[in-house]
Structure 1
Amino acid sequence: MSQLKVILQFSGGAELLFDKIKKREVELPVLEKYLPQINKSEWSIRELLVWMKDNLLKERPELFLQGDSVRPGILVLINDSDWELYGELDYKIQNGDAIMFISTLHGG
């Protein structure tokens, strides 16, 4: 499989964890080369989160990730639809997908 191009968007404060950049177009590397231990060829949201942590997340990963998923309070939209409709972490990413992370956690 060739590299995937996806659009990542951050809103509601999530962008603060990613160098204050609200929208990025990224090219994901060939999965077998990036994570050879998982023995898969298709990117899913699960692998994307690992890649984001390693390559994009600039500070306080505990505010974005919990275990192998996003923490409660982070909404994930895939092509403007709730990721629950797509199988959440198991969704197979397609070339050109727009994936948005919206924080609903606000200080007070």
Structure 2
Amino acid sequence: MAAPVSVHLEFGGGAELLFDGVKEHHVTLPSQPEPWGMRQLLVWIQRNLLKERPELFVQGDSVRPGILVLINDADWELMGELDYQLQDQDNVVFISTLHGG
């Protein structure tokens, strides 16, 4: 059984508007049989934090194109994207690069 994992989540560039305007969330993810990965984190965020318009944040089982994801200040593409296994005290940042005109 994987231990609970505490992570710091940040939403910016307008993405915070989907989360009642709250930019920072300190969350403890519950114990589960498998280690927490980004794929499971996105499902958890959708169920527990996302307040409106999920189509602006997720697409399929990943984030929508146009949302930059950083894990501990590194582009998640360098970290394995959805396959990255979260570590205790990780910092995950979601920045929307999409802006209305």
TM-score, normalized by the shorter chain, greater than 0.5: yes
Q: Which residue number in structure 1 is paired with residue 41 of structure 2?
A: 48
Q: How far has the Cα of 1:57 moved from its partner?
A: 0.2
Q: What CA distance in whole angstroms lies between the structure 2 residues aligned with 1:57 and 1:71?
A: 14
Q: What CA distance in whole angstroms lies between the structure 2 residues aligned with 1:104 and 1:62?
A: 15
Runs of 4+ in 1 over 3 A off after TM superposition: none
Q: Which amino acid aligns with 2:23?
A: K
Q: How far has the Cα of 1:31 moved from its partner?
A: 2.3
RMSD of aligned Cα (Å): 0.6
Structure 1 residues 34-73: aligned runs within 5 Å: 41-73=34-66
Q: Which residue number in structure 1 is paired with residue 86 of structure 2?
A: 93
Unmatched 5+ stretches in structure 2:
none
Unmatched 5+ stretches in structure 1:
33-40
TM-score w.r.t. the length of structure 2 is: 0.97
What's the CA shift string for 1:8-27, capped at 9, x where partnerless?
Answer: 00000000001111111000
Q: What CA distance in whole angstroms lies between the structure 2 residues aligned with 1:31 and 1:69?
A: 20
Q: How far has the Cα of 1:87 moved from its partner?
A: 0.4
Q: Between the two proteins, what is the percent identity of the paired residues?
A: 65
- Between structures 1 and 2, the one with greater helix share: 1
Aligned length: 100
